[in-house]
A = this chain, B = another copy of it.
Amino acid sequence: MSPASNLDTQSDHAIGGRQLELESIDFFVRLMSMLGMPRSVGEIYGLLYFSQDSLPMDQIASRLGISIGSASQGLRTLRALKAVKTAYVAGDRRDHYFVETEFRRLFSTFIKDEIMPHLESAKERISRMEKSLPAGIEDREFYLVRIEKLRRLTKASGRLLPALSGLLKL
């Protein structure tokens, strides 16, 4: 049984071939999962990536064979990442979604929203380590050196990561 057997086979118009669509979904499911995103998020982005028309939520759900709950949740995630945007379509009250294809911007949001907050709390945690170091401890130097290493790691990451998307010359 093919992995895509539950994809809606109707409404195939305006799609550059089912095979391309499947490859795209596969591609982005893997990419998103590397970034810790659930399958449905990759599926949605993958579907939209090769879609010329923007699509409403219910069509996304039915084409992918996922529930509207998943689609709603997945689209929320993608909106937060600025990975999809909505288009107005005259005479239709549904939101129509299309992808942001500038990966540079996408990663930049991802780093800002998903990584930097962790780095912030890491800094606090390192301060707590220093405080929790008993006063008259043996080999105080050993512990201080290792704590300092962590501080340098977070400092360097905090500088490097936001610069990363800028280096991405696509």
User: Which residues of chain A have a CB within 8 Å of any CB of chain B?
Assistant: 16-17, 19-20, 23-24, 26-27, 30-31, 34, 36, 49-50, 52, 101, 103, 115, 118, 121-122, 125-126, 128-129, 132-134, 137, 139, 142-143, 146, 149-150, 152-153, 156-157, 160, 164, 167-170
12 further interface pairs, Cβ-Cβ under 8 Å (given A30-B118, A34-B115)? A16-B142, A19-B132, A20-B129, A20-B132, A23-B132, A26-B125, A34-B118, A52-B139, A103-B149, A153-B170, A156-B168, A156-B169
Smallest Cβ-Cβ distance to A21: which chain B residue: B132
* Residues in chain B near residue A126, CB distance under 8 A: 27
Pairs A–B under 8 Å by Cβ, sample size 5: A23-B125, A26-B125, A152-B170, A156-B170, A164-B164
